[in-house]
């Protein structure tokens, strides 16, 4: 019974301090916040990991990522001790977010899909792997891996093995 109460307290404190606090900043224009909505949340403080599963939607600024599962890895706050007796977490900065299953990333009029994705927060970089495809209007680019550098507004599409990058581009200026 005590373990169940500690677990419930742990989850409630985590949700309030880690998820809702950034939401209030997001509404005031804080660009560092990430909003995550899912069917389930499993927190593993000893691994610096939070697993979101079931209809996961991640929103950061003008980017939305959908996936079956999201693994959020965070760093511990420096100089703060864990207090497992109260269920208090010591989460700090988000290091990376890994998405697995039916990944879809949208930014403005671009949609990128793939089997998996990794968002590196420090580098502001997203890598989509496995049947990677980017659509912008009627234009389509396919490859094994698509990398976006968010700060630079640029991307790279790569293929491996015998595969090749394939692009279909429509333009009013091409006759």
* Domain-located, residue 43: yes
Rounded to 5 degrees, what are φ and ψ at 165? -75, 135
Which residues have CB under 8 Å from 39's CB, separation 6+?
53, 54, 55, 56
* Domain-located, residue 37: yes
Q: Do the beta carbons of residue 132 and residue 114 sit within 8 Å?
A: yes
Rounded distance between C-alpha atoms, residue 25 and residue 88, angstroms: 21
* Domain-located, residue 174: no
Model pLDDT for residues 90-114, shown as the tens digit of each residue: 456 889 999 999 999 898 888 999 9
Model pLDDT for residues 77-96, shown as the tens digit of each residue: 665 555 544 344 445 688 99
- Domain limits at 121? 2-168
Counting the structural domains of the chain, the total is 1
**Total residue length of the chain:** 175
Rounded distance between C-alpha atoms, residue 134 and residue 41, angstroms: 29
* Domain-located, residue 63: yes
Whichever domain contains 161, its CATH number is 2.60.450.10
Rounded distance between C-alpha atoms, residue 61 and residue 17, angstroms: 20
């Amino acid at each position: 019974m005590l373990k169940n109460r500690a677990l419930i307290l742990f989850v409630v404190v985590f949700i309030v301090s880690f998820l809702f606090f950034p939401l209030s900043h997001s509404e005031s224009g804080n660009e560092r916040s990430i909003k995550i909505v899912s069917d389930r949340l499993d927190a593993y403080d000893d691994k610096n990991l939070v697993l979101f599963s079931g209809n996961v939607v991640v929103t950061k600024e003008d980017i939305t990522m959908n996936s079956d599962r999201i693994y959020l890895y965070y760093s511990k706050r420096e100089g703060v001790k864990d207090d497992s007796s109260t269920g208090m977490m010591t989460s700090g900065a988000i290091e990376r977010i890994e998405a697995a299953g039916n990944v879809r990333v949208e930014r403005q009029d671009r949609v990128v899909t793939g089997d998996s994705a990794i968002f590196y927060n420090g580098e502001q970089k997203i890598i989509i792997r496995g049947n990677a495809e980017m659509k912008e209007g009627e234009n389509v680019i396919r490859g094994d891996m698509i990398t976006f550098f968010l700060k630079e507004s640029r991307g790279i599409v790569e293929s491996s093995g015998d595969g090749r990058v394939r692009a279909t581009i429509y333009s009013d200026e091409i006759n």
